[in-house]
Amino acid sequence: MKMTRFEKRFVNRKKKSQKNIEILESSLKIIDLAKIKTVLELGCGIGFVSSYLAETYKFKVYGTDYDLEQIQIANNIQPKFKHLYYRVEDATKLTFDDSSIDLVLSQNVFHHIPKWKDAVKDISRVLCSGGYFLWFDLTFPNIIKNIFLPFVKNYGLYTIDDIKIAFKIYGFNKISYERIAHGPFSQHHYVLQKN
């Protein structure tokens, strides 16, 4: 789903990207970096995190976003690396080959994906066996989901239990889990590994 101008202004802030990089770094400390060659970032926005990964770790990085404008900006403002690619992708219908990615990163993206379960399924498809999935996002209380689900067509609405079940169905094992923010819209941070 394409974001509004207001949402883009919020998510494209350098400070927001620095916070995402901090969360990413905490995840990278607990996985086997020697196994990572190819990274897919879903919802890369204007590319700060993808660029950071390409520059710092020399991974082959695909920064993807559903919004063409975001990808165009990323291509224009981020440093050029021969192993960094930005492209438009639908997280529910990725164009990557089966088992071709070592690490998938999704930070604050799933609540923008109406068919978020399809995204989990396709992430599982493109991840190699033993590959990692880093997921950071908010979840909703069951009452909010049940009230708004019939009316909300452009956003993903799910509870933490919905997310846990989908991860299990599509072959992900939890390495680490942390509830970062509490309240009606709590944030969760998962480090997962595909069977």
- List of domains in the chain: 49-89 (no CATH), 96-195 (3.40.50.150)
Phi/psi of residue 153, each to 5°?
-105, -20
Residues 6+ apart with CB under 8 A from 41: 49, 50, 53, 61, 62, 63, 64, 104, 105, 106
Mean pLDDT of 162-184: 94
Phi/psi of residue 100, each to 5°?
-105, -5
93 vs 9, higher pLDDT: 93
pLDDT in tens, 56-92: 999 999 999 999 999 999 999 999 999 999 999 999 9
State yes or no: pLDDT of 5 exceeds 70: no
Please give the pLDDT value at position 63. 98
Please give the pLDDT value at position 154. 84
pLDDT in tens, 102-152: 999 999 999 999 999 999 999 999 999 999 999 999 999 999 998 988 888
Distance CA 17, CA 101 (A): 23
pLDDT in tens, 22-63: 999 999 999 999 999 999 999 999 999 999 999 999 999 999
State yes or no: pLDDT of 6 exceeds 70: no
Do 128 and 100 form a contact (C-beta atoms < 8 A)? Answer: yes
Q: Global pTM?
A: 0.92
Mean pLDDT of 1-24: 76
- With bands split at pLDDT 50, 70 and 90, how would you rate the model's confidence at 3? low
Q: What distance, in Å, lies between the first and last C-alpha atoms of the chain?
A: 29
- With bands split at pLDDT 50, 70 and 90, how would you rate the model's confidence at 184? confident
